[in-house]
Structure 1
Amino acid sequence: IAIATVLLVHEFAHGFLLSSQGLRIKSVGGMLVVAIPGAFVEPDEKQLSKAPILKRLRMYAAGAFSNVLFALLCLLIIVLLIVPKPGAYVYAVAKNYPADNSGIAPGMRIYSIGGVEINTPEDFERFMSLTKPGENVRLVTSAGEMVVTLAQHPGVEGRGYLGVALISAFSRWNFVNPLFVLWTAMSELMGGNVFHPFVFEALVPWVVIDILKWIFVLNIGIGLFNLMPAVPLDGGYILRGILEKVVSEERAVQITRALSIVVLFIILANFLPYLW
């Protein structure tokens, strides 16, 4: 579903801009490749190449920007359908450490530890940074109270360790920040859980939130990727059109081609660590 929305929104935007600007569409179609849906809008390349630069720029920019705008619409719907829970919750428990041995499980809320109120993971980390191995601490959780003996921290000598990772909900206002929106998309794409049922109440079944989340992630990710200045991506053709306003068409093609090679090299270089 998410992949289908990326293609449909992208190609519909291209087609709409072609039609609205009086440019001919040679063909429109769909496809299914190994159960993955596809779509395409084929312009009249000869007519398009002779069209005014601004018309070409609008057409090439339409697909990627429509993906980004559609992604932001999905994000807005998600934010309206979830309600942040207060406090900090156990996200993961390390095996054979005090928390695991004491019955602490993912999804539990930690109200306090050692008499210190815990509202965020940062509150918990500040408290734990002052503890020692073998120290007894009293925890108040959503499952009740317990006294736990801390273990040695596996990475910090002389520091106590409970063996839990905590998460808490982000305020809705964070999503007003474009950088936070990009971080959210990257985090979800890499397996993070910004939108997690432990820390958010959903006004609809969580499967709806998950579908909207992936529509958001794929649309904004592919939309922004398409704006990279490299042919055959839309961003490459946008760059070529902009360059044609200051240099000759031939020179614009040469510059765009050279930059496309540089961008391709940068993309491949980012994958090298995973190939070793």
Structure 2
Amino acid sequence: MDSIELYTAALVIVGFWVSIYILSKAFNFKRFNLELKPFYLLWKTERLNKLLRKIAQVSPRLWRTLGSVGVAMGVGLQIYALYFISQNLLSFIFVPQSASPLVPIVPGITISLYWVPYLLVGLAINLAVHELAHGISAQVEGIPIKSSGLFFFILFPGGFVEPDEDVLSKSKMISKLRVLAAGSSSNLIIGVIVFLLTTSMYASPSGILITGVVQGGSAEKAGIMAGDIIYSINGTMTKDIGALYYYINGVKPGQVLMLDTDRGTVPLTTSQDPTNSSRSFIGIQRDNYLPSALDVFGHIVSYEAFNSLNWTFIVALSVAILNMLPVYYLDGDGFLSSALEKYVPKKKEKIRSAISMLFLAILILNIGLSLLKLYL
């Protein structure tokens, strides 16, 4: 990550929150049920509670059936989550090259700031669905909602639905499990829907999509613009980024390339790579071109939609799986706790604490070893 880009992002974030603070003083946010703290804005509303009650009353029997299906999905997700982080830790220890990186998403550090807008879309959709599912399930099971609303933390939007914990703890086991499983099971459904939607709308790569050009670079001088598609270079097909890299590696600075694009053939003279004078440089930001029905709205629009769907899918599966880990403050902990209370009430807290600490340690080791693998 470019340090200048990171510092700029930090200044923008600080400037944004300073502006919010000034607005809070000018318009008295408390009148609108808005609560402001450093880098945190909270809005509570009764309207969402009423909406949840109306949705829950549409067909309680159907919602309970779906809730029971969600419990089965929750069990499956918890088993898979435990298997994945345990197996992955063993892979890190014995076969490091086969281990999957498990890294927290930190804009500017673990992911480029370029992806932040798409990440925010994915978070907004998944957190809204997650919390609405909890709220609807709670209302169906007769558990009051103490509060609900929206929040904004640093850069990240979110929502919350807070069931009455006293009533929830005294409810039947199946009712508690339905409420606790509703969030992750709904995220899994969102992930499946988005996956099917993406695979049905987008075809395999068939070219290089230009997402931007370097100012003053060879591509800009040749008239290449964002949204253009390169199908081949000097008659050699470039169906994906790999094919482009393979071809460009053999090109020298000053060489003329004939680019076959969706706007016709474009001649381009390469320049020297600023970081390596022996290598050529054409000055483009690029990605694989995935043909889609959305191309009628423009290639860039289709590309933006794909990235939004992709990040929604990533967030959906991450939340669905990791949230069901039996670790304190996650839904998976409440899920396990409800079962322990039913079958081993006297030993519940000891077993719960031991399991939570064990899998928290496994999760932390996965993250730590992933960071070491990526950055060392």
Distance 1:216 1:31 in 2: 24
- Is residue 101 from structure 1 mapped to residue 200 from structure 2 by the alignment? no
Specify every segment of 5 or more residues in structure 1 that has no aligned partner in the other structure, as ranges. 173-195
Query: Could you say if the C-alpha distance between residues 102 and 83 of structure 1 is closer, same or farther in structure 2, counting changes exceeding 3 Å?
Result: same
Distance 1:96 1:69 in 2: 46
Aligned to 1:25: 143
Specify every segment of 5 or more residues in structure 2 that has no aligned partner in the other structure, as ranges. 1-123, 372-376
What pairs with 1:210-229 in structure 2 (closer than 5 Å)?
A: 216=313, 219-229=316-326
Letter in 1 for 2:170: Q
Moved more, 135-144 or 244-253: 244-253
Distance 1:14 1:27 in 2: 7
Calculate percent identity across the aligned residue pairs: 22
How much has 1:232 moved relative to structure 2? 1.5
Aligned to 1:115: 235
Query: Which secondary structure does the structure 1 equivalent of 2:230 belong to?
Result: strand
- Is residue 198 from structure 1 mapped to residue 316 from structure 2 by the alignment? no
The equivalent position to 2:250 in structure 1, one of 130, 138, 145, is 130
- Is residue 11 from structure 1 mapped to residue 110 from structure 2 by the alignment? no
Query: Which secondary structure does the structure 2 equivalent of 1:258 belong to?
Result: helix
Query: Could you say if the C-alpha distance between residues 13 and 168 of structure 1 is closer, same or farther in structure 2, counting changes exceeding 3 Å?
Result: farther
How much has 1:252 moved relative to structure 2? 1.2
What is the TM-score of this pair, normalised by structure 1?
Answer: 0.64
Query: Is contact 2:203-2:291 (8 Å) kept?
Result: no
Aligned to 2:331: 234
The equivalent position to 1:258 in structure 2, one of 334, 347, 357, is 357
Distance 2:246 2:307 in 1: 33
Query: Could you say if the C-alpha distance between residues 75 and 47 of structure 1 is closer, same or farther in structure 2, counting changes exceeding 3 Å?
Result: same
How much has 1:128 moved relative to structure 2? 0.4
Distance 1:226 1:199 in 2: 34
Query: Which secondary structure does the structure 2 equivalent of 1:100 belong to?
Result: helix
Query: Is contact 2:209-2:289 (8 Å) kept?
Result: no
Distance 2:160 2:286 in 1: 40
Distance 1:55 1:133 in 2: 68
RMSD, aligned CA: 4.3
Aligned to 2:36: none
Query: Is contact 1:29-1:41 (8 Å) kept?
Result: yes
Aligned to 2:170: 47
- Is residue 167 from structure 1 mapped to residue 287 from structure 2 by the alignment? yes
Task: For residues 39-87 of structure 1, give each alpha carbon's deviation from its aligned partner in whole angstroms, at most 9, with x where no partner exists.
Answer: 3433524424xx55x7755553332122221332244345445567843
| Between structures 1 and 2, the one with greater helix share | 2
Query: Could you say if the C-alpha distance between residues 259 and 27 of structure 1 is closer, same or farther in structure 2, counting changes exceeding 3 Å?
Result: same
Query: Could you say if the C-alpha distance between residues 234 and 15 of structure 1 is closer, same or farther in structure 2, counting changes exceeding 3 Å?
Result: farther
Distance 1:197 1:147 in 2: 23
What pairs with 1:56-75 in structure 2 (closer than 5 Å)?
A: 57=177, 59-75=179-195
Query: Could you say if the C-alpha distance between residues 62 and 37 of structure 1 is closer, same or farther in structure 2, counting changes exceeding 3 Å?
Result: closer
Letter in 2 for 1:255: A
How much has 1:201 moved relative to structure 2? 5.7
How much has 1:229 moved relative to structure 2? 3.1
Query: Could you say if the C-alpha distance between residues 151 and 212 of structure 1 is closer, same or farther in structure 2, counting changes exceeding 3 Å?
Result: closer
What is the TM-score of this pair, normalised by structure 2?
Answer: 0.49
Task: For residues 161-214 of structure 1, give each alpha carbon's deviation from its aligned partner in whole angstroms, at most 9, with x where no partner exists.
Answer: 211233224599xxxxxxxxxxxxxxxxxxxxxxx9527869xxx88x898777
Number of aligned pairs? 236
Task: For residues 120-157 of structure 1, give each alpha carbon's deviation from its aligned partner in whole angstroms, at most 9, with x where no partner exists.
Answer: 22221111011111222222222332332211223445
Letter in 2 for 1:25: I
Query: Could you say if the C-alpha distance between residues 167 and 65 of structure 1 is closer, same or farther in structure 2, counting changes exceeding 3 Å?
Result: same
